[in-house]
A and B are shown apart, each in its own frame.
Chain A
Amino acid sequence: MAETPGWDEVMREFLVESREHVQGIEATVLELEAQPGSQALLAQLFRSLHTVKGTCGFLGFSRLEALMHAAEELLGLARDRRLTLDRERVSTLLAIADAARGALEHIEATGLEPAVDHSALFARMAGATAASAPLAASEPLTPPGTLPWRGAATGMDSKLRVDVALLDRLMNLMGELVLARNRILQCATSPAPGAELVTASQRLDVVTTQVQQVVMKTRLQPVGQVWNRFPRLVRELANGCGKQVRLQLQGADTELDKTLVEALHDPLTHLLRNAVDHGVETPEQRRERGKPPVGCVTLRASHEGGLVHLGMSDDGAGIDVQRVRQVAVQRGLLTAEQAARLPDADALMLIFMPGFSTAERVTSLSGRGVGMDVVRTQVERIGGTVEVHSRPGQGTTFTLKIPLTLAIIPALLVTCRGDRYALPQASLREVVWLEPEQARRDVTRIQGACVLRLRGELMPLVVLASELGVGPAMPDLEEGVTVVVLQAGEHSFGLWVDAIHDTEEIVVKPLWKHLKGLACYAGATVLGDGRVALILDAMGLGRRAGTLDETQAQVVIPEPVPEVAPRPEAPRERVLLCRTGEEGRVAIPLSRVARLEELPASDVERLSGGMEMARYHGQLLPLVRVASVLASRQGATETLTQALQAAAGASLSVVVTSHAETRVGLVVDAILDIAEVDFALQRETRRPGVLGSMVVQSRATEFLDVEGTVRAVHPELLTGGTP
């Protein structure tokens, strides 16, 4: 048969189409069970069965044809109201769908129909079609958990269906990309590219971003693709435990990256199984508690803030937090005192601890904990988080928050001993800079482990250089400490890096197979300058560093925090936050800022006497480099000149400040943000140009003395030009 031209094509179409029909048959049968006698559903079912039967007959798959025919006969009786579709008959129809699915898989693999004996199935069908079919007499078709389609990844899963409109858009963008490339190529060969190159690169930037967005869209798949298997699962499970459960699906068309859709299948299946098994009560129990006998499990999906939120709620018994505490103490995970001090919300999270999985034998409650650690690991593996909320007697809700995609992610670049590493921003909580003095006070070493005291909370501190084996276990505190606070699961720890750089969107690439065993890396990426950088893995680092190893460390036990003396009422002030030098942050009062400018370095000239001037709106603007004043180096403008020469062609971020007589441009490395702060300087300092420091947005920030900074370089300016 295979030699017939186009046969492969016919076969492929047959398989895709039949698979969809079989999926549809299953869904319709389940709907029919909920609303028996619906003529519309029956008609739909007939159409699907008939189509599959027809193509099977055409292609010569007679066994499959006979199977479909038998199902049609059964349905015909139901349509003529000569029998009702009870549970047993629905099960029989589902069994036919399973058999058809198995046959299709076999056909895909071998091109031939399987030589399976369906006589048992036919016998069941005969029983089902008999007017007096015994009800629920037979054993369950397939024990829950071994459903034939569970986890079956067939060749079809590697294919995507993409909206043609989306492809058209992609095609157009590709055209624009080619044009942008041509422009850049032209610039490269022209003698003086200059401004032309700038516009061309900007265009390239815009087009690339658009291509990235559209490509990402083509990879997005509705979560319904995972969910369409769940109604059947819930039915089998509920039947298996003698419960009545209704499954509601909301937001099935919410889209998520294809790989993530697949990665979510197992965790969701497990949560669902748990909800039916342990969450929802038996009909009798529910009646006693004044609830409807049919339990309800709801799956909902929505997009929120760049994340996909997946919620799974049941209206069952809920989780008894007191029992969870007891079990944790019994299993030696917590002391009784710790357990008592743990807030309810944190105590609930205990069910995700690995120690809980064996607790099932000790108490019936903790069935909910079985395998929950696996669920959490799987969700965190794809960069997501799990939360649980429960109200006793009213039900439990699990919330999964998953990023839309993972292939291109924003990351923070950090350095460690001269090498650059990328830290995915998903795991980033905050960045903290400690002055040497502060570092001596707040960083402690306890039995070989570094600990950071951050706002009264003790936090494990991982020294990146030492972790990677390229530096000492405890670097010099006298150089100050840059800490990146990372979130790994629900636990956070500080990562001590040498310095922080920009953020960049990075393309995640796999590591070579021989390097995949290195837990501290999540892959590698090529940076803007063409160099390769390793992507750090927060979970792996945390685990390696031992901060997440002990179960004790997994639950943050709140220590009594010493009361901070209330500060006197402080005036609020709006400040501009800037970056100067490698990691310095300074705040400039917004009232002093006249304008923010990006000036091309080529507009800066050096006058005799070391003064730096920029051509600015037809006038000359004196410049002061803040970083060099703060570093109290001699000849602040010398450094500026060198920096300018080094960055010829680059641009300068300039904060134009207003003074009584004149304007002065303060050169900073980057303008970060505007914030409103309590004007309460925490610490006086003798550094020139600094009034004091304060915490802004949880980070240590120096408050710039604008006058002092200008005076340090251009004392003559502030006295009206005369020295």
Chain B
Amino acid sequence: MSDPRQLCSFLVGEHLFGLDIERVQEILLPPPLTRVPGAPPEVAGLLNLRGQIVPAIDLRRRLDLPEATAPADAPHVVLRGDDGAVSLRVDAIGDILPFVDAKLAPVPDNLRGPLRSLLLGVHALPDRLLLVLSADAVVDGLSPASNPAASPSLSALPQEPH
């Protein structure tokens, strides 16, 4: 019983992660980022994706992995979502891997921290473990911005429909 689904795999730190390829819109070479002072630390900045402004998440910080300087050529994995695209900064892009539901093992009990809530499960490859991420969980549930008082003008500016 094979599953036609596939995973886009990538490296962050020493871990190999996978995301349902259906949710991956494209891979970007390191795009110019505009930083957003005051934003949650996981937000790496904003980038211009063919006229659309897309937020970029530093996946290393999002997963609470040890800080390390991301390589200068850190690529981005752009996810499609209901509220528009969101880009994830990763360390390196890996292969496209087949995804077989049956082989997905639950997250080990002793795994704690934010990583646990973001994983769908663990996929044992012949030589290493593939951690399967939930795209929704990665994007949602970011820590709130540093000044939660919403600006009155934010909601009011009539904005361009996407």
Contacts between chains A and B (CB distance < 8 A), count: 127
A131 contacts the other chain (CB 8 A): no
Is residue B158 within 8 Å, beta carbon to beta carbon, of the partner chain? yes
Bound CA span A79–B62, Å: 74
A419–B159 contact, CB under 8 A?
no
B151 touching A257, Cβ below 8 Å: no
Residue among A377, A521, A543, A544 with max Cβ neighbours from chain B (10 Å): A521
Verify A468–B37 contact, CB threshold 8 A.
yes
User: Can you list, as one digit per residue, whether each of A532-544 has a CB less than 8 Å from chain B (1) or not (0)?
Assistant: 1110010110011
Is A514 a contact of B43 with CB atoms below 8 Å?
yes
Is B111 close to A, CB under 8 A? no
> In this assembly, does B108 line the interface, its C-beta being within 8 Å of a C-beta of chain A?
no
A532 to B46, CA, bound (A): 7
With beta carbons under 8 angstroms apart, the residue of A468, A470, A508, A537 that contacts B151 is A537
B53 within 8 A of A: yes
Binds B, one of A67-75, A117-125, A523-531: A523-531
Report B12 CB to chain A, min CB distance, Å: 20
Contacts of A513 in B (CB 8 A): 83
A517 contacts B144, CB within 8 Å? yes
* Nearest-CB residue, chain A, relative to B145: A517
Contact B36 A515, beta carbon cutoff 8 Å: yes
Q: Is the CB of B159 within 8 A of A510?
A: yes
In the complex, which residues of chain B have a beta carbon less than 8 angstroms from the beta carbon of A532? 34, 45-48, 53
Residues of A within 8 A of B (CB-CB), count: 45
Report the minimum CB–CB distance from B52 to chain A (whole Å): 8
Task: Give the residues from 39 to 63 in chain B that come closer than 8 angstroms, CB to CB, to chain A.
Answer: 39-40, 43, 45-48, 51, 53, 55
Given contacts A469-B37, A526-B51, A526-B53, contact A260 B158 (CB under 8 A): yes
B160 interfacial by beta-carbon distance below 8 Å = yes
Interface residues of B in 106-161 (CB under 8 A from A): 142, 144-160
Partner of A531, one of B38, B48, B145: B48
Within 8 A of A (CB), among B67-96: 83-84, 86
0/1 interface trace, chain B 1-41, chain A, CB 8 Å (1 if under)? 00000000000000000000000000000001011111110
List residues of A (295-319) whose CB comes within 8 Å of B's CBs: none
- Size range of the chain B interface in the assembly: 35 or more
Contact A518 B158 (CB under 8 A): no
Q: Once the chains are docked, how many angstroms separate the CA of A160 from the CA of B53?
A: 27
Least Cβ distance of A698 to chain B in Å? 26
**Which residues of B are found within 8 Å of A405, using beta-carbon distances?**
158
Minimum CB distance partner of B83 in chain A: A513
- Given known pairs A509-B53, A509-B159, the reply for A534 and B36 (CB within 8 Å) is yes
Which positions 338-386 of chain A face chain B at CB distance < 8 Å? 377, 380-382
- A531/B34 in contact, CB under 8 A: yes
Q: A377 vs B156: C-alpha distance in the bound complex, in angstroms?
A: 11
Closest A residue, CB atoms, query B40:
A514
CB-defined interface of A473-516 with B at 8 Å, one 1/0 digit per residue? 00000000000000000000000000000000001111111111
- Rounded to whole Å, the gap between the CB of A374 and the closest CB of chain B is 10
Check if A381 sits within 8 Å of B158, measured CB to CB. no
CB pair A539 B152 closer than 8 Å: yes
Assess whether A655 is interfacial by the CB under 8 Å rule: no
Highest count of chain A CB atoms <10 Å: which of B35, B147, B153:
B153
- Whether B157 contacts A518 by the Cβ 8 Å rule is no
Given A381-B153, A540-B153: A515 and B39 within 8 A (CB)? yes
In the complex, what distance in Å separates the CA atom of A544 from the CA atom of B152? 12
A517 to B142, CA, bound (A): 12
Neighbour of B43 across the interface among A468, A515, A522, CB < 8 A: A515
Question: Besides A510-B160, A532-B34, 9 other CB < 8 A contacts?
Answer: A263-B156, A381-B153, A468-B37, A468-B38, A509-B159, A518-B36, A518-B39, A532-B45, A537-B154
14 chain-A/chain-B pairs, Cβ below 8 angstroms: A257-B158, A382-B157, A468-B37, A508-B158, A509-B53, A514-B55, A515-B36, A515-B55, A516-B154, A517-B147, A518-B145, A519-B149, A524-B46, A526-B48
